A = this chain, B = another copy of it.
Amino acid sequence: MRLALYALLSAFLLIQPSRADDALPSWNDGATKQAIVQFVERITSKGSADYVEPADRIATFDNDGTLWAEQPMYVQLAFALDRVKALAPQHPEWKDKEPFASLLKGDLKTALAGGEHAIAEIVMATHAGMTTGEFENIVLEWIDTARHPKTGRRYIDMVYQPMLELLKYLRANDFKTFIVSGGGIEFMRPWTEKVYGIPPEQVVGSSIKLKFEMRDGKPVLVRLADIDFIDDKAGKPVGIQMHIGRRPIAAFGNSDGDLQMLQWTTRGDGARFGLIVHHTDGEREWAYDRHSPVGQLDKALDMASSQGWTVVDMKHDWKTIYPPE
C-alpha cells in the first residue's frame, strides 16, 4: 500500500506544470527568457485577466531555422539531392537533362540557376510517384543516416536544445504544440514525434496531391507530381486555419516566411506571444538575416519592435545550441 501511495503521489506530481527556472536551463537569464516565462505565467494563472483555457493554448512553430539548423541549405534540399544521386541509375536520361545533369556533376549552382522551375523538377522527381508508405520509409532511412556537411552530425541531432526545452515547457503548461513549416508535411511527419514530441496530426506543411487507389487489392495513397499547397508566408495562416481551425496564441519563427503567421497569431484578442529566432552566432551556428538566400529575415525583423515580438539573440540568449553529442 505504501508503494501504491507513493506511485499515486508521483503520478500526481508529474502532471503539475513545470517550473520555468527548471524547464529552460539552456536559456540564459535575461529579457528573452523572462518574456517567455511571463507570458506563460500570465495565461495560465487562474483569475488573471489574461487566463486562457487549456484547449485554446495553441502554439505554432516554424521548423527550418526555428527548431533545427537550415544552413548551408534546407535539409529537405539535401535530401532531394541525395535522392537524385540514388535514383540516377534508373534515369540514364538525367545525364543530359537539366537540372539533373549539373546536380550529378556536383554543380549545385548551375542546377539551381533554373530557379523555381528547376526546384520543382527536383522535388517532383524525388518526392512523387511512390505511395505515402514508401515515401515514409525513404525519409526515415535517410534521416537516420544522413549527416551534415560541416558538423558531421545527423540533421536530427542539429535541433536547437533551447527550443526543445521550450516545446516541453509549453506542453507541460497544457499547450498543444504544432509545426507550421514551408517544408514538406510528409518529409517532417515520420520523425517529428521522436525528435520534437509533436505527433503527425500536429504537423502542417507544404504538400503535393495524393490519390487513393486499389493496388493488387490493397488500398494505397499515391503521391502525385502536382503541388497541392505551399505553406509559406501568406500561406501559413491559411495552413493553420485548414489544419488547426483556431488561432494560435503563440507563434515562433525565424524568417520573413513567418511574418504572416506572427501577424495572424499576435493580432488576435487577449494575451498573445510572437517570437523570432535571430541567427547571430557565427561561431556556434551561423550568423545571417537580411541578405541570406536561406531563411531571409528582413521585414519581420524591422516590424518586431512595433509588433511586440520577442527577438532571440542566439549568441547571447542561448547557453547551448544543439543537444550534447
Query: A residues engaging B (CB < 8 A)?
Result: 5, 8-9, 11-12, 55, 58, 132, 176, 185-186, 189, 193, 199-203, 207, 210-212, 214, 218-219, 221, 228, 234-235, 237-238, 241-246, 260, 263-264, 267
Contact = CB atoms under 8 A, between A and B. Distances in A.
A237 B260 contact: no
A201 B243 contact: yes
A207 B8 contact: no
A192 B143 CA distance: 38
Contact of A201 (B132, B176, B264): B176
| Max chain B Cβ within 10 angstroms of own Cβ: one of A176, A207, A221 | A221
Given A8-B8, A237-B221, A238-B212, A246 B201 contact: yes
Given A11-B12, A219-B267, A267-B219, A242 B207 contact: yes
28 contacts: A5-B5, A11-B12, A55-B193, A55-B199, A176-B201, A185-B245, A186-B245, A189-B245, A199-B245, A200-B245, A200-B246, A201-B201, A201-B245, A201-B246, A210-B241, A210-B242, A211-B238, A212-B234, A212-B237, A212-B260, A212-B264, A214-B263, A219-B237, A219-B260, A219-B264, A221-B237, A221-B238, A243-B243
B132 A241 contact: yes
A47 to B, nearest CB: 20
Nearest to A218: B267
Number of copies: 2
A200 B202 CA distance: 12
A246 B199 CA distance: 9
Contacts of A235: 212
Contacts of A242: 185, 207, 210, 228
Contacts of A218: 267
A307 B323 CA distance: 48
A212 B8 CA distance: 48
